[in-house]
Amino acid sequence: MTASTSTSSRRPLGVAIAGFGWMGRVHTQAYARVLHHFPQLTVAPQLVAVADEVPGRAEEAAEQFGFTKPTRDWREVAADPDVAAVSIAAPNFLHREIGVAMAKAGKHIWIEKPVGLTADDARAVADAVKEAGVAGAVGFNYRNAPAVAAAKEMIASGELGTITHVRFRLFSDYAAHPEGALSWRFERERGGSGVLGDLAAHGVDLARYLLGEIDSLAADTAVFVPERARPTGATAGHTRVSGGETGPVENEDYVTSLVRFASGARGVLEASRVSVGEQNNYGFEIHGTKGAVFWDFRRMNELGVSLGSGGNPAYQDQAVTTVYVGPSHGFYGAFQPGSASSMGYDDLKVIEAYNFLRSIADGTPHGTTLDDAVRSADALDAMAESARTGGWVSLPR
């Protein structure tokens, strides 16, 4: 257990949300909960401003969560002296503009992936954060799962031996319905990539977090639902529409990539947003010369482990056991007192909020940074280039 910090000794920190769709709401709820789970924080987030261009959405957020300054213009947030930190959960095409502006205004930023449309966008935000000397965090939440932390410890300690080959999967059906609206997510100009930015970005971050840098890759992409109906109004989440004017889907529904790590390990990363029958089927299989680990996000608090017995690997016919993570793994102890009591998705964002806020408090980066966003974006750009040319692409070092 960590000691609590008294309310009187905490420094209030004005926070704001730019973009109040589903993810903006998740960030808001994380700020509201973070002191419940991490009372040792020396800053206390105060919900000050919320910006969303959809008429009435910011006012609804203010009424529900207690923001004092709702607005349709994020620029008012950047100019607000009461705001010290901003969560950026707006559509991808706004990430660079908002991120750079907030950093230049001296605001700490917690920005959702993929941080713009390209690696150049992510790099521009990262550079602005460094130049301004503010904290910067990125929404790669899956690395915060305690089971993932346990897997990382096993890999780093050598329990699995030398890692040989891995598989990362991110399958979802959120765009499988042909009546899914042609929102910004399906347009190059506003969404950039498709499933690359939505899901494969998470896969790349998990791969790097667990196994180190990617050296080179080859990829293939496909669009399986080539046309969708244009929405007649504002959309939130994955709205359906039928009839009316249709338009082309401009970015990929599916990607598969062969990956070579700098360590010499080989891997496969596969992602789809149109997988009928799959809901958030995210996870990995990591094989080493002595053992293996398996993780499925849908059973987030479990880790499949194959290590032999007594420290001696059997190699062949080696059993897999299920480990229920507990207080000794990652930040699990901040949420549950004993093993096998479930944590959920929103808990992972509370951990992100904690890392972001303590980065601000002590001036030292904790958790994901804009450098992680840049490295992920470099891999996504390489996948797009490989799909275009049909060859292997080396990543910048």
Distance CA 100, CA 370 (A): 12
Whether residue 1 is predicted with pLDDT greater than 60 in this model: the reply is no
The residue among 96 and 7 whose pLDDT is bigger is: 96
Q: Provide, rounded to the nearest whole percent, the portion of the chain with pLDDT above 90.
A: 89
Distance CA 78, CA 106 (A): 9
Paired strand residues for 166? 267, 286
Whether residue 128 is predicted with pLDDT greater than 60 in this model: the reply is yes
pLDDT band of 235, cuts 50, 70, 90: low
* Average pLDDT for 176-200: 92
389-392 long-range contacts, Cβ below 8 Å, gap at least 24? 391/218, 392/216, 392/217, 392/218
Q: Give the pLDDT score at 240.
A: 76
Whether residue 319 is predicted with pLDDT greater than 90 in this model: the reply is yes
* Average pLDDT for 359-388: 97
8 A C-beta contact, residue 331 and residue 40? no
Q: Give the pLDDT score at 231.
A: 82
Identity of residue 191: G
Identity of residue 340: A
Q: Which residues contact 143 (CB under 8 A, 6 or more apart)?
A: 205, 206, 209, 368
When mean pLDDT is compared across 27-31, 45-49, 190-194, 281-285, the lowest value belongs to: 190-194
pLDDT band of 182, cuts 50, 70, 90: very high
Whether residue 238 is predicted with pLDDT greater than 80 in this model: the reply is no
CATH architecture of structural domain 7-138:
3-Layer(aba) Sandwich (3.40)
Structure tokens that stand for 360 in this block = 């601000």
pLDDT in tens, 337-364: 999 999 999 999 999 999 999 999 999 9
Give, for 246, the enclosing helix (H) or strand (E): strand 246-248
The Cβ of residue 237 has, within 10 Å, a number of other Cβ atoms equal to 10
**153 vs 82, 157, 160, 181, CA distance in Å?**
40, 6, 10, 42
> Domain limits of the chain?
7-138, 144-342+367-389
**Which pairing describes strands 85-88 and 108-111: parallel, antiparallel, or unpaired?**
parallel
Q: Give the pLDDT score at 308.
A: 86
pLDDT in tens, 32-44: 999 999 999 999 9
Q: Give the pLDDT score at 193.
A: 93
pLDDT band of 3, cuts 50, 70, 90: low
Question: DSSP per residue over 278-332, as a string?
Answer: -SSEEEEEEEESS-EEEEEGGGTTEEEEE--BTTB---SS---EEEE--TTSTTG
pLDDT band of 314, cuts 50, 70, 90: confident
Angle between helices 370-389 and 119-132 (to 10 degrees): 160
Which residue stretches of 54-145 are H helix? 57-65, 74-78, 95-104, 119-132
Whether residue 176 is predicted with pLDDT greater than 60 in this model: the reply is yes
- The dihedral through the CA atoms of 374, 375, 381, 385 has a sign that is positive
Whether residue 374 is predicted with pLDDT greater than 90 in this model: the reply is yes
Whether residue 233 is predicted with pLDDT greater than 70 in this model: the reply is no
pLDDT in tens, 240-277: 777 778 999 999 999 999 999 999 999 999 999 999 99
The residue among 269 and 314 whose pLDDT is bigger is: 269
* Average pLDDT for 156-166: 97
Whether residue 91 is predicted with pLDDT greater than 80 in this model: the reply is yes
Q: Give the pLDDT score at 236.
A: 57
Whether residue 310 is predicted with pLDDT greater than 90 in this model: the reply is no
- The dihedral through the CA atoms of 38, 43, 44, 46 has a sign that is negative
Residue with tokens 């990829």: 219
- CATH code linked to domain 144-342+367-389: 3.30.360.10
